[in-house]
Amino acid sequence: MSSRVPLVDYLALEPEPHLVAHECVSCGARYFDRRNGCANCFGTEFHDVDVATTGEVRAFTIVAYAAPGIETPFVAAVVDCEGTSVRANLINVTPDPEHVSLGMKVRLATNSVGTDAAGTEAIGFGFEPISN
Amino acid sequence: MSDDVWILGITMTKFGKRPDEDTIDLAAEAVHAALADGGVTMADMGILAAGNLMGGAGGIGQALQKQVGQTGIPVYNVANACATGATALRTAIMAIKAGECDYGLAVGVEKLSGVGLLAGGSRAADRDEWTPHGRYGAVAGVDGRIGTETMPGVFAQVGMEYGHKYGGTSFELFARISEKNHSHSTLNPLAAYSKKMSLDEIMNDIMIAYPNTRPMCSANCDGAAAAVVVSDAKLKTLSLEQQRRAVKVSASVLTTDPWQEACQILPDVNTLTRNAAKQAYEAAGIGPEDLDLVELHDCFATAELVHYDNLMLCEEGGAVDLFESGATWRDGSMPVNVSGGLESKGHPISATGIANIWEVCHHLRGEAGPRQIENAKVGLAHVIGLGSACGVHILERAA
Ligand SMILES: [Zn+2]
């Protein structure tokens, strides 16, 4: 029997993979990490909201040289998901400047990070080009 | 008498590989030279502010005192990423402004040769069981899986984001900024690298994080810089020569980044720099058009471009046009990084925020030799450390 876990807790795998942000109840600022309070308005109440699974590449780099243990090259990007910025890799795309462009339309996709000793598979995410 | 604060003595060591000296040796060399430059001794100093990030545990300031003079004065060991040197200087300036002393000493030092990539360290091997850790509940390392934590990659995105917003950027444009700084470095004997590089050489060098190749990244090296600051009242009691060479600190500003959408996704190096620049221009009563030279934090070629805009050297969105006009070359109307910048002069992190002020002072004193900006009267020095902290100083030569 195999089970799956998300790479990070803000990746929800069901019903369809999507990201979940902690949204400040008073000002609407969105965060992906565990919060002590809001950096914008200092509020301490948050609720979870689903983030759009499609977006536009606002910035990217093709990392050719990274810390030990990280496979290169890969495309790191900031994706604007209908007003919520998300940090992610661009996946299912050739990592070169001819295939990646600013303003490119992308959608959330998942990939396998690997399987641990107990047979549990970790699921990661990235964004892939929306082909015409 | 006013509450102006002046730089009385300032120096930077030769940047580069300094295998025979340790951190304290380099800091002591800078301190001795800055004191001599100012015509004062440790006995005059009322405060020491010292910055060092990579030297390990223990106060660099106290370790330094044990070699240059234990006079019992207060020591502030400061850390503010790449703005550490600027923070040390500002700490000394604040002590004088607060009336606690007449003289302050600031020093920044780093041993970085051979450190390699400034990354978030190496990503640990995956554990053999997926259990959530940390603020993202991550079951495995995320650097390289969810974007990048490397500095070259972060600042590459900063430049690309600017291009997305305003257009006009390209790999070649960023490489040409680097070409400018490497060309400038040929006139700076203290630079770690002072070799001219052609556009072809820059673009065909090892790609680190597109669009930044290796020569478009700040050079890790060893080095130190130190400054002696003095109150206006005390300066007036010193020799005419000391008064003539003193450089006025017309603005000393430190900011952090105010919250913006996305600033916790990709560091926003723009808003805090713009805020610091605005505050500095206002404090100095000087506008960007009055500047004779600018030393800005070109930790990567992509960063230099966005800071043209952030420091208001151009109209908003006009950074590409400013560069294309040739203005930021040494013989242009707004020379930027005539020292060679971090890409060639080198970036011993904690030293950088004082070394860039030394460069500006060097010109304001008319002592910059072959790279002298003729008749320079006012200059600006800028640093930014991710996290983030931004230091902006505006400096004016004595009337
Ligand atoms: Zn809030």
CB contact under 8 A, B137 and A85: no
pLDDT tens digits in sequence order for chain B, 399 residues long = 578 999 999 999 999 999 999 999 999 999 999 999 999 999 999 999 999 999 876 799 999 999 999 999 999 999 999 999 999 999 999 999 999 999 999 999 999 997 765 545 567 788 889 999 999 999 999 999 999 999 999 999 999 999 999 999 999 999 999 999 999 999 999 999 999 999 999 999 999 999 999 999 999 999 999 999 999 999 999 999 999 999 999 999 999 999 999 999 999 999 999 999 999 999 999 999 999 999 999 999 999 999 999 999 999 999 999 999 999 999 999 999 999 999 999 999 999 999 999 999 999 999 999 999 999 999 999 999 999 999 999 999 997
With the CA atoms of B315, B297, B336 and B90 taken in that order, what torsion angle do they form, in degrees rounded to the nearest 10? 100
User: Within a domain: residue B42?
Assistant: yes
User: Within a domain: residue B55?
Assistant: yes
Asked if residue B188 and residue B241 are part of one domain, the reply reads: no
Q: How far apart are CA B324 and CA A38, in angstroms?
A: 41
Query: Which neighbouring-strand residues pair with A107?
Result: A54, A128
Burial A57-75 (b: 16+ CB within 10 A, else e): bbbbbbbbbbbeebeebbb
User: Within a domain: residue B142?
Assistant: no
Asked if residue B293 and residue B341 are part of one domain, the reply reads: yes
Asked if residue B277 and residue B235 are part of one domain, the reply reads: no
B183 closest CA partner among B215, B213, B206, B219: B215
B373 token code pair: 């900006």
User: Within a domain: residue B56?
Assistant: yes
Which ipTM was obtained for this model?
A: 0.96
Alpha-carbon distance A50 to nearest alpha carbon in chain B (angstroms): 16
Give the angle B10-B225-B198 at the CA atoms, nearest 5°: 110
- List the domain range (segments joined by +) for residue B78: 5-116+221-248
Question: Ligand 1 centroid to A45 CA: how many Å?
Answer: 8
**How many domains in chain B?**
2
Q: Cβ distance B360 to B346 under 8 Å?
A: no
Known catalytic residue at B390? no
User: Within a domain: residue B76?
Assistant: yes
Q: Which of residues 7-26 of A touch B (CB under 8 A)?
A: 7-10
> Can you give the pTM of this predicted structure?
0.96
Sign of CA dihedral B359, B360, B366, B371: positive
- Candidate list B184, B297, B307, B347, residue with the active-site label: B347
Question: Ligand 1 centroid to A46 CA: how many Å?
Answer: 8
CA distances from B28 to A115, B12, B58, B102, B108 (A): 53, 11, 16, 21, 10
CB contact under 8 A, B147 and A120: no
Q: Where residue B348 sits, what CATH number does that domain have?
A: 3.40.47.10
Asked if residue B242 and residue B285 are part of one domain, the reply reads: no
Asked if residue B386 and residue B330 are part of one domain, the reply reads: yes
Asked if residue B170 and residue B37 are part of one domain, the reply reads: no
Q: How many CB pairs under 8 A join A and B?
A: 171
Alpha-carbon distance A82 to nearest alpha carbon in chain B (angstroms): 12
Chain A contact set for B270 (CB, 8 A): none
Would you say how long chain A is, in residues?
Answer: 132
Asked if residue B90 and residue B71 are part of one domain, the reply reads: yes
Write the DSSP assignment of B181-220 as a string of letters. Answer: HHHHHTT-TTSS------HHHHHTS-EEEETEEGGGBPPP
Closest chain B residue by Cα to residue A96: B210
pLDDT at position A132, please? Answer: 57
At A85-119, the pLDDT tens digits run 999 999 999 999 999 999 999 999 999 999 999 99
Q: Cβ distance B213 to B202 under 8 Å?
A: yes
- State which of B231, B248, B265 marks the end of a domain: B248
Peptide bond into B152 cis (omega under 30): no
User: Within a domain: residue B188?
Assistant: yes
Please say if the pLDDT value at position A1 is more than 90. Answer: no
Asked if residue B350 and residue B280 are part of one domain, the reply reads: yes
Q: How far apart are CA A56 and CA A50, in angstroms?
A: 17
Asked if residue B167 and residue B23 are part of one domain, the reply reads: no
pLDDT at position A2, please? Answer: 66
β-strands A74-81, A54-63: how paired?
antiparallel
CB contact under 8 A, A63 and B144: yes
Tell whether A125 is within 8 A of chain B (Cβ).
yes
User: Within a domain: residue B358?
Assistant: yes
pLDDT at position B116, please? Answer: 66
At A5-54, the pLDDT tens digits run 999 999 999 999 999 999 999 999 999 999 999 999 999 999 999 999 99
Instruction: For residue B312, count other CB atoms closer than 10 A to its CB.
Output: 17
Q: Which of residues 33-62 of A touch B (CB under 8 A)?
A: 33-34, 39-40, 57-62
In one-letter notation, the amino acid at residue B178 is S
CA distances from A106 to A117, B179, B200 (A): 33, 34, 33
Asked if residue B225 and residue B210 are part of one domain, the reply reads: no
Alpha-carbon distance A32 to nearest alpha carbon in chain B (angstroms): 7
CB contact under 8 A, B146 and A59: no
Nearest to B136 among A30, A32, A72 (CB): A32
pLDDT at position B244, please? Answer: 97
Instruction: For residue B286, count other CB atoms closer than 10 A to its CB.
Output: 18
Chain B contact set for A66 (CB, 8 A): 117, 119, 143-144, 148, 150, 153
β-strands B389-397, B378-385: how paired?
antiparallel
Asked if residue B98 and residue B28 are part of one domain, the reply reads: yes
User: Within a domain: residue B137?
Assistant: no
Asked if residue B257 and residue B380 are part of one domain, the reply reads: yes
